[in-house]
Chain A
Amino acid sequence: MLPTPSQTVGPFYGYALPFPGGGEIAPAGHRDTVAVHGRVLDGAGEAIPDALLEVWQPAPDGSRTGAPGSLRRDPVTGGFAGRDGVTFTGFGRVATDADGHYSLRTLAPGGVPYLSVCLFARGLLHHLFTRIYLPGADLAADPLLASLEPGRRGTLLAAEEAPGTYRFDLRLQGPEETVFLDFN
């Protein structure tokens, strides 16, 4: 069957798609929590204040089944109840702020340590996929990283700013344009 075409997320998704705790993928207070943050920038180097990032990743044990409960609802008020603080769903969703900044708190995935990112924004007619690679011994063996020339490979590597805090910027266009991926 022929696919339904993509259309931009537009500027007004803010009351529908983001949810409380969207960037809090790690169970509350988990001692192995890492923070991943950065900015989303356009071709002029300006902040994109209306981008939406989704993250999907394996659990620390490498399992890829995920779990429901990322956007738990409160049946009493009809609002959001928040995550249960225990379950690792593997899914996160955050909007950028006025400065184009996002932040996530998660647990490093098992296997090759990368977070899969799906990026949406006003002005972007079709979402973009990329990956945030956290530092780790397994990176040398990763087929995607191995296929990239060093300059471009660096756009997929998160930088460790402090123990457990990683920086990853996304540049939609320009000389340091992030590597975006095609799976079809």
Chain B
Amino acid sequence: MPPTQQSISEEIAREHEAYARAGSVRHHPDRGYAPYRSSLLRHPRQPLVAVRDPEAVELSGPAFGVTDVTELDGDLTRRHTGEPLGERIVVTGRVLDRAGRPVRGQLVEIWQANASGRYAHQRDQHPAPLDPNFTGAGRQLTDDQGTYRFTTVKPGAYPWRNHTNAWRPAHIHFSLFGTAFTQRLVTQMYFPGDPLLPYDPILQSVTDDAARARLVATYDHDLSVPEQSLGYRWDIVLDGPAATWIEEGR
């Protein structure tokens, strides 16, 4: 029998208490976070091995350029002949390193469900309609200020099989590169005020309240376009070895 939402919610609460008791700050999820059941056989049990080699290849990283994106890749509503269904939104923000410096000219990729909560993926069998005018993938290079900007539709919530009556809150998947491979980040952006946020073991795997809040975008009325779209702002800070953000000019 799959667990109930109530038992998963109790596990989530216990994990939060254990985190608070431990008293040290943790920004990223514990890979062994059990309320997210898919993690059970898919996380290492041995401690990670620290690499502090200043010559490590991972302190450099891949480069992307104008050939890797087209101008239309930032607008997910114009990838087909017709208009997608749903609430049109603009999502924009800056990609920064931990020293607050903009990450320039780097690749930002996003993917998401359509407005009904269905992915354009054969394995998504949620019986919500596909939208022939929406695929839900986009990419862009950050500009000189580290800014990215996507036009899309607000994704719908969708069910999944982690437990009985499990629903993912609306979210957009993000993939980001920094100047070093160590700064690599794949994450998810959530929407403010979504009533599903407390029930979701994937979001709640970030047990630090302040860190979890950093995954939720801000509604920004000044970004909303009259008669057209609502605006959300979400800045992203890439983690990485201290050396890549404390030492200026590295």
Q: Please list the residues of chain A having a beta carbon within 8 angstroms of any beta carbon in chain B.
A: 1-17, 42-44, 46, 48, 54, 56-58, 64-75, 78, 81, 89-91, 109, 111, 114, 116, 118, 120-129, 143-144, 147-148, 152, 172-173, 177-184
Contacts and interface: CB of A to CB of B under 8 A. Distances in A.
Interface stretch (B4-12, B16-24, B62-70, B224-232): B62-70
B73 interface: yes
The 5 closest A-B pairs by CB, nearest first: A68-B65, A123-B38, A16-B111, A91-B62, A3-B239
Contacts of B137: 15-16
A75 B70 contact: yes
A106 to B, nearest CB: 13
A73 B38 contact: no
B39 interface: yes
Contacts of A17: 109, 111, 175
A118 B181 contact: yes
A114 B51 CA distance: 14
A173 B68 contact: no
Interface string B190-220: 0000000000001101101011101100000
Contact of B238 (A3, A111, A143): A3
Interface string B35-63: 01011111111101111010011111111
A7 B186 contact: yes
Interface residues of B, number: 83
Contacts of B135: 15
A147 B33 CA distance: 29
Contacts of B29: 5-7, 125-126
B99 A71 contact: no
A66 B61 contact: yes
A128 B164 CA distance: 29
Given A68-B64, A123-B39, A126-B31, A180 B49 contact: yes
B188 interface: yes
A109 to B, nearest CB: 8
A108 to B, nearest CB: 13
B185 A6 contact: yes
Contact of A180 (B48, B136, B239): B48
B68 A71 contact: yes
Nearest to B214: A4
Contacts, number: 245
B60 A64 contact: yes
Contacts of A127: 184, 186
A180 B58 CA distance: 13
A177 B44 CA distance: 7
Nearest to A143: B53
A42 B39 CA distance: 10
8 contacts: A4-B214, A8-B202, A43-B41, A89-B62, A91-B63, A116-B181, A180-B44, A182-B48
B46 A16 contact: no
Contacts of B182: 129, 183-184
A2 B67 contact: no
Given A7-B188, A13-B111, A177-B45, 19 more contacts: A3-B237, A4-B238, A8-B38, A9-B175, A12-B113, A15-B120, A17-B111, A46-B41, A56-B181, A67-B63, A69-B67, A70-B64, A72-B67, A73-B67, A90-B62, A123-B40, A172-B42, A179-B46, A184-B241
A183 B240 CA distance: 7
Nearest to A124: B42
B250 interface: no
A177 B49 CA distance: 12
Given A4-B214, A126-B28, A181 B109 contact: no
A177 B236 CA distance: 32
Given A2-B214, A64-B60, A126-B29, A173 B65 contact: no
